[in-house]
Structure 1
Amino acid sequence: MDTTATIIFIVAAFSLGILIIMQRNNIPASLRRGLAIAAIVFIAFAFFLIVYSLTTMGS
C-alpha cells in the first residue's frame, strides 16, 4: 500500500471538510448539499484508511 498517497488523501479530505465548514456562507445553496455529502464520504473513507493502516501496521 502506498502510504504517501494515503496520507495525501487523508489530509485533502479533512482540508475539504474544514474548508466547507469555514466557507459555508459563501457557497451557493445549490452546491452546498452536494459538497457536504462528498466531504462526508471522503472523510468517512479517510477514517477507514486510518483504521485499516493501524490494524495492518504490525504485519
Structure 2
Amino acid sequence: MDASTTLIFIILAFVLGGLLVWKKETIPAAMRRWMAVVALVFIAFAFFLIVYSFATAGM
C-alpha cells in the first residue's frame, strides 16, 4: 500500500470531520445527517489504516 495516498486519505477524512463540526449551522439538516455518517465511516477507516500501518511497520 502506498503511504502517501494513505496519508492523504487520513488527513482529508479528519478535515471533513472537522469541517462538519465547525460549519454545522450552515449545512442543511437533510444533508447534515448523511454527511456526518459518511465522515464517521471515513474517520473509522482512517483509524483502521493508522493501526494497520503501525501493525505492519516491522514487516
> TM-score band (shorter)?
over 0.9
CA distance in 1 between counterparts of 2:25 and 2:32 reads 9
Q: Is 1:52–2:52 an aligned residue pair?
A: yes
Which amino acid in the other structure matches residue 15 of structure 2?
S
How much is the aligned-residue C-alpha RMSD, in angstroms? 0.3
TM-score (norm 2): 0.99
> How far apart are residue 46 of structure 1 and its match?
0.1
> How far apart are residue 47 of structure 1 and its match?
0.1
Structure 1, residues 4-56: CA drift from partner, whole Å, max 9, x if none?
00000000000000000000000001101000000000000000000000000
CA distance in 2 between counterparts of 1:16 and 1:45 reads 13
Question: Number of matched residues?
Answer: 59
For structure 2, list consecutive stretches of 5 or more residues without a partner in the other structure: none
Q: Is 1:34–2:34 an aligned residue pair?
A: yes
Q: Which runs of 4+ in 1 moved over 6 A?
A: none
CA distance in 2 between counterparts of 1:19 and 1:12 reads 10
